[in-house]
Structure 1
Amino acid sequence: MRVLVAGSTGVIGRQLVPLLEAVGHEVIPGSRATGLDALDRQGTAAFVRNAAPDVIVHLLTSIPKEVDPRRFAAQFAMTDRLRTEGARNLLDAAPQARIVAQSVAFAYEPGEGLANEDTPLWADPPKAFAGARDAVMELERLTGERGGLVLRFGHLTGPGTVFGDDGSTTLAVRAGKLPIVGDGASVFSFTHTHDAATSIVAALDREVGGVLNVVDDHPTAVRDWLPALAALLGAPAPKRVPAFAARLAVGGWGTAFMTRLRGADNSRARLRLNWRPRFETFLRETA
C-alpha cells in the first residue's frame, strides 16, 4: 500500500517509516521538509493529490521539548490545530484513503480502575487542559466519521521523548527536581515509540476501525514509578510536596497531572490488532 505518514520526522514517525518499508509498504514521508503543511489547505490538497495514498497516518503534533504546566494551553495550541484543522485538511484531500490517527490515552475521566475505550473522556478537566481535550475529541470524531482507526497512545517513552535519556523529565529526575505531588495517585500508562509504530503496522493488515488503547501492560502510579526511576538513574529520591503547594507552583493542571490521571487498559488492541507491546512496562524498559 501507499502510506502517507503525516509527521514522518516525529518521535513515532522515525520509528514507523523503516518498519513500513521493511514489510513492503510504499511510504510517502509527510513533513514540512517534504512540503506538507497540514494547516495550508490548498497546499495539503496538492501534496496529497500528488501522493495518492491508500492510507494516511496522522501523527502530526508540535509538542515542546519541555512542557510548562502553567503555559500548557499556549504550548499545545499548535498541536490542537494540527489535530483539528490539520486532520480536516488531510481527510478532505483524500476522501477515499483510510485514516489512522494518533490520539492520547490519558484524557479519561478520573476514577477507579483502568479505563477502557468505552470510558468517557474527562468531562470537566482543569482549564489549561480543556483545549487539548476538545482537540482530541474533534480528531476522534472526524476519524470516526470516516470509519478510520484512532490509536490512543500513553505517555510516550523512547528516543526523543521527555522520558528519553536526555528528555526533560529524565533530566528533572536526575536533578531531584520532580517531586511526588500529594498522594502521587496519577496512574501513567506508557507507550514506547517503537510499540506505537508496531501497532500502526499491525493495523494496516486488518480492517479495524474505532478507538484502541495502545499502551504498556502495567500502568503505574506516580508514587511508584517516580522513586523507582530515580533509583535506576542513581538520582536523589524524589521529594514530596503537598497538593496545595504544588498548585501554587504549577497550577491546577500541573497538580492534576500528578494526582488524578487514570491508566488505560490495552486488552482490545491486543485482541483486535494481534499486537503485543515489546516494552511491557516502562521501568523494565528503563532498566
Structure 2
Amino acid sequence: MRVLVAGATGVVGRALLPLLTSVGHEVTALSRTPRQGTVVADALDRSALHRAVREAAPDAVVHLLTAIPAEVNPRRLARDFALTNRLRTEGTRNLYEAARDAGATKVVAQGLAYAYDPEGEGPATEDAPLWRRPPRQFAPVLAALRELEERTTDAGGTVLRLGHLYGPGSSYAADGSFVRQVRAGKVPLVGGGGSVFSFTHAHDAATAVVAALDKPHTGPLNIVDDTPVPLRDWLPELARMLDAPAPKAAPAVLARMAVGGWGVAFMSKLRGADNARARLSLDWRPRYPVWREGFAAELNGTSDGTQG
C-alpha cells in the first residue's frame, strides 16, 4: 500500500515511518521542507497540498499534523494551539479533499483521549461525550478536535484518540519539558491530583496506525494503555524515578492564579479512557500496558519507540 504520512516529523510520525516500511508499505512523508522521501507542501496551502498529494498518489493518508510548542503555557493554551487548531480544521479539509482527488481510499487521523467530559464513572469508552463545558482556554482546541473527527468519520476513516503521549521527542521524554519541571520540583499536586491519566507510548500509537490501515473501522478508537492512573499516584512515583523532590500539594484556588482554569482542570478533572474497543476492532495490544513500565524504559534509555 502507498501511504502518505502528514506530520511525519512529530513524536508519532518518527516512530511510525520505520514501522510502515518494515511491514511492506511504500511510504511518503508530507513536509514543508524538502528531504528524501518527501513531497513538499504546507497543509494550509490548498493548491500546493493538492499538487503534493497528487504526486504521492497514495492509497491511504495518515493525518498527524500538529504544531504544538515544546513548552505550552496552560494560561495561554488557545494561543499556543492556534496553528494546531487550524491544521485540524482547514488542514484536515484540504488534506482529505486532496486525498479523495488523488484516489486514496483510507484515512487515519490522530485525536485525543483526554477530551472526555469529566462527569462520568470509570474510564471513558468512545461512546462517552466529549467535554460539554470545557475550560475557556481548551474550548477552541476541543472545537477543532470535533471538526477533525467529523471530517474523518465522514471520509470513512479512523480517529485514533491518543492518551498522554510519551516517548522520544515528547514532553515526558528524559529531556522533555515536563520531566525537566519535575526534576526541578516545579510540578505540584493541584486540587488533590484527581485527574486520571491514560498514557500512550509513541511506539504503541504507531502500531495502532499500522493496524488501522488494514481494518475497516470508521470513527474514534481510544489508543491508550491498560492502566488509567490518578495524577496523585503517578506524579510522586515519577519524581522518585527521577530522584527529584516529591511534589507539593497546591490548592486549586491558588493554582488557578498561576496556571489558569485549564491548568487546574488538567491536574484535577481529566477522565481516563478505556481501550477495549481498539483491542477488539484493530487486534491491537500496547507494548507498554502499564505506564510505569513504559516510563522506566524511556528514562533508562531502553526504549527507542521503533522496534516491533
Q: 1:189 aligns with which of 188, 198, 201?
A: 198
CA distance in 2, matches of 1:87, 1:140: 10
Which position in structure 1 is the counterpart of 2:73?
68
Summarize the alignment of residues 112-261 of structure 1 with structure 2, pairs less than 5 Å apart: 112-261=121-270
Q: 1:108 aligns with which of 88, 91, 116?
A: 116
**Which whole-Å deviations, capped at 9, do the CAs of 1:94-120 have from their partners, x for residues lacking one?**
214211000000000002211000001
**Which whole-Å deviations, capped at 9, do the CAs of 1:71-102 have from their partners, x for residues lacking one?**
11000000000011000001111214211000
Summarize the alignment of residues 49-68 of structure 1 with structure 2, pairs less than 5 Å apart: 49-68=54-73
CA distance in 2, matches of 1:32, 1:214: 28
User: The residue matched to 1:12 in structure 2 has which SS?
Assistant: helix
CA distance in 2, matches of 1:264, 1:17: 26
| AA matched with 1:21 | T
- Quote how far apart the aligned CAs of 1:36 are: 2.2
Which position in structure 2 is the counterpart of 1:23?
23
Unaligned runs of 5+ in 1: none
CA distance in 2, matches of 1:205, 1:285: 26
CA distance in 1, matches of 2:129, 2:148: 15
- Quote how far apart the aligned CAs of 1:204 are: 1.4
**Which whole-Å deviations, capped at 9, do the CAs of 1:182-225 have from their partners, x for residues lacking one?**
11100011100000000011111222221100001101110000
Aligned-residue CA RMSD in angstroms?
0.8
| AA matched with 2:86 | R
Which position in structure 2 is the counterpart of 1:92?
97
| AA matched with 2:280 | L
User: The residue matched to 2:44 in structure 1 has which SS?
Assistant: coil
Matched, 1:83 2:88: yes
Which position in structure 1 is the counterpart of 2:301?
none
Matched, 1:270 2:275: no
CA distance in 2, matches of 1:83, 1:281: 30
- Quote how far apart the aligned CAs of 1:33 are: 1.9
Number of aligned residues: 287
User: The residue matched to 1:211 in structure 2 has which SS?
Assistant: strand
CA distance in 2, matches of 1:237, 1:210: 41
User: The residue matched to 1:207 in structure 2 has which SS?
Assistant: coil
CA distance in 1, matches of 2:27, 2:233: 40
- Quote how far apart the aligned CAs of 1:31 are: 1.5
**TM-score relative to the length of structure 1:** 0.99
CA distance in 1, matches of 2:171, 2:289: 19
**TM-score relative to the length of structure 2:** 0.92
Which position in structure 1 is the counterpart of 2:302?
none
What is the percentage of aligned positions where both structures have the same residue? 61
Unaligned runs of 5+ in 2: 35-39, 297-308
